[in-house]
Chains A and B, each alone.
Chain A
Amino acid sequence: MHRIRIAIAIADEALDRAGNIMDDCRALGFEAATALTGVGIFTGSIEFDRVASLRTIVGVAAVEIERPTWIHAS
């Protein structure tokens, strides 16, 4: 199955439980790449068909598939 890179935003009220939320994400197959503690974000990868399941974890505010970005050159 195809793995995709995602970003997970932790809800404001759940920032103090970030460690537990990471464990819950891993239990669903999330492989963490970074834990950005300054802004409350995890980045990593997961099987494409498991993305929706991450949104059911209490304390997860948003899950988005990573976009490519480019410099704004005219």
Chain B
Amino acid sequence: MLWNIAAVRIGVVCDEGAAGLRGLSLGEGVVFSSLHAGLVSVDPDQWMALRARKATDLLSIEPERIIDVMHGAMADSSSATASRSRASYTSHFDKAADTWGLQATRVSLSRFSGRGVRVAILDSGLDLHHPDFARRTIVSASFVTDDSVNDTNGHGTYCAGVACGPVSPWQGPRYGVASGADLYIGKIVDENGSGADGNMLAGIDWAVRRGCAVISLSVGTAVAPGESHSRVFEQVAARALAGGTLIVGAAGNTSLRPDCIAPVDHPANCPSIVAVTAVDSHLQIAPFSCGGVDQDGGVVDLAAPGVAVRSAWPQPALYRSSSGTSMASPYVAGIAALMVEADPSLRGRELRDRLRRAARPLALPARDVGAGLVQAP
């Protein structure tokens, strides 16, 4: 057993009611016969096995929530009420279960995996021999001259892990969102993490022509305050959107808050690209996160976990915890894949609009978090 924690209480909804629940051979608990539901205690192995189980009679499995009386809306981040509510929320992140980011975005509670949805990660490639991707459908291509798609930097493997890592990793807690999605890995930066617009454009073109529903970009360039967004990339992103491909981009890490808030990086500052900033486990904006401070584009659309986020890393390390808007962008991409699985008609603009509508509002300026914290279906 990898974890050393106490049993977890979970709620189970079963199609066959009490008989079905008893048939699962779980621990002690209570059955609500008329509701076809029950509350049982399971150990970590049972928890993982239940989540991996593909049973049509098991309709839902969720960790038991702690409930409190309503204190009021979190309208003021400086109020004692908001602080107390925030503390209550973050104290429920179980460090031994899924990563805090999966819990905060409700991925842990989602029954969707992104199955059948094509997600493109355009970055430094992928460690093709990483055990966590051994049984996945992966299509790959390199757009870096004389360089294979194998990841010799690490960043690409990390981002792919956040977006599409498995339910049951080789080691440690679950860290990935769309565990069932089809991965499209496009290498657009080299071992030093550097590339150029041309690599990125080629990668986007490749992903669009292959019918990817989502493209995650955690690469870019800082822009000067007041600098206009790229007309070339805006045209590309708008065409992709119209064709059913949503591009999600990291907002950038060049701020030094509170003294300096840098504008959203290129190309995430394009209006047709979903720009994602980073929050920490207290749902506060990360000090490095760029913001929507410019008039011409550069609007922040969503926030996602981006501080102390665990994900995959090339061998021999296998895993790493890191911080940055690079970590936040693939969260949104993975959750977009879950939404597409839930409703295949959601593509392009409709998908973007759904992501925004489903976000959890935060007691932070829209300049910093857009519509709020991305949430899974």
- Of residues 231 through 284 on chain B, the ones whose CB sits less than 8 Å from some CB of chain A are 231-232, 235-236, 239-240, 250, 252-253, 265-266
Interface membership of B152, Cβ < 8 A: no
Partner pick for A37 among B155, B188, B205, CB 8 A cutoff: B205
CB contact under 8 A between A7 and B323, given known A70-B220, A72-B220, A74-B288: no
Interface membership of A56, Cβ < 8 A: no
- Of residues 123 through 175 on chain B, the ones whose CB sits less than 8 Å from some CB of chain A are 123-124, 153, 155
Interface membership of B200, Cβ < 8 A: yes
Interface membership of A1, Cβ < 8 A: no
Binary A-proximity of B181-217 (CB < 8 A = 1, otherwise 0): 0000000110001111111111011101100000000
Interface membership of A73, Cβ < 8 A: yes
Contact B198 A43 (CB under 8 A): yes
- Of residues 44 through 74 on chain A, the ones whose CB sits less than 8 Å from some CB of chain B are 61-64, 66-74
Contact A9 B236 (CB under 8 A): yes
Interface membership of B108, Cβ < 8 A: no
Chain B contacts for A64, CB-based, 8 A: 197, 230-232
Contact B196 A67 (CB under 8 A): yes
Number of residues on chain B facing chain A (CB within 8 A): 44
Contact A72 B201 (CB under 8 A): no
Contact B230 A38 (CB under 8 A): no
Interface membership of B105, Cβ < 8 A: no
CB contact under 8 A between A66 and B196, given known A71-B155, A72-B218, A74-B323: yes
Contact A61 B231 (CB under 8 A): yes
Q: How far is the CA of A72 from the CA of B278 in the complex (A)?
A: 12
The residue of chain A having its C-beta at the shortest distance from the C-beta of B123 within the complex is A71
Chain A interface size range: 20 to 34
Contact B201 A41 (CB under 8 A): yes
Contact A71 B218 (CB under 8 A): yes
Partner pick for B220 among A12, A33, A69, CB 8 A cutoff: A69
CB contact under 8 A between A69 and B201, given known A9-B235, A38-B209, A41-B236: no
Contact B155 A68 (CB under 8 A): no
Interface membership of A29, Cβ < 8 A: no
Chain B contacts for A40, CB-based, 8 A: 235-236, 239
Contact B201 A7 (CB under 8 A): yes
Quote the shortest CB–CB distance from B324 to chain A (angstroms): 4
Contact A72 B325 (CB under 8 A): yes
CB contact under 8 A between A68 and B221, given known A38-B205, A41-B232, A43-B202: yes
Contact B123 A68 (CB under 8 A): no
Chain B contacts for A70, CB-based, 8 A: 189, 193-195, 219-221
Chain B contacts for A5, CB-based, 8 A: 196, 198
Most B C-beta atoms less than 10 A away, residue of A5, A43, A61: A43
Contact A73 B196 (CB under 8 A): no
Interface membership of B375, Cβ < 8 A: no
Quote the shortest CB–CB distance from A60 to chain B (angstroms): 11
Quote the shortest CB–CB distance from A36 to chain B (angstroms): 4
Q: How far is the CA of A61 from the CA of B230 in the complex (A)?
A: 12
Chain B contacts for A74, CB-based, 8 A: 253, 286, 288, 322-326
Quote the shortest CB–CB distance from A31 to chain B (angstroms): 13
Chain A contacts for B266, CB-based, 8 A: 67, 69
Q: How far is the CA of A70 from the CA of B250 in the complex (A)?
A: 12
Chain A contacts for B124, CB-based, 8 A: 71
Interface membership of A27, Cβ < 8 A: no
Quote the shortest CB–CB distance from A28 to chain B (angstroms): 18
Chain A contacts for B232, CB-based, 8 A: 7-9, 41, 62-64
Q: Shortest 3 CB-CB distances between A and B: which pairs?
A: A36-B205, A74-B324, A71-B193
Additional A-B contacts beyond A36-B201, A40-B235 (13; CB < 8 A): A36-B204, A39-B235, A43-B198, A62-B235, A63-B232, A64-B231, A69-B200, A70-B193, A70-B220, A71-B124, A72-B219, A72-B325, A73-B324
Q: List 8 A-B contacts (CB under 8 A).
A: A12-B235, A40-B239, A41-B205, A41-B232, A64-B197, A68-B194, A68-B196, A69-B219
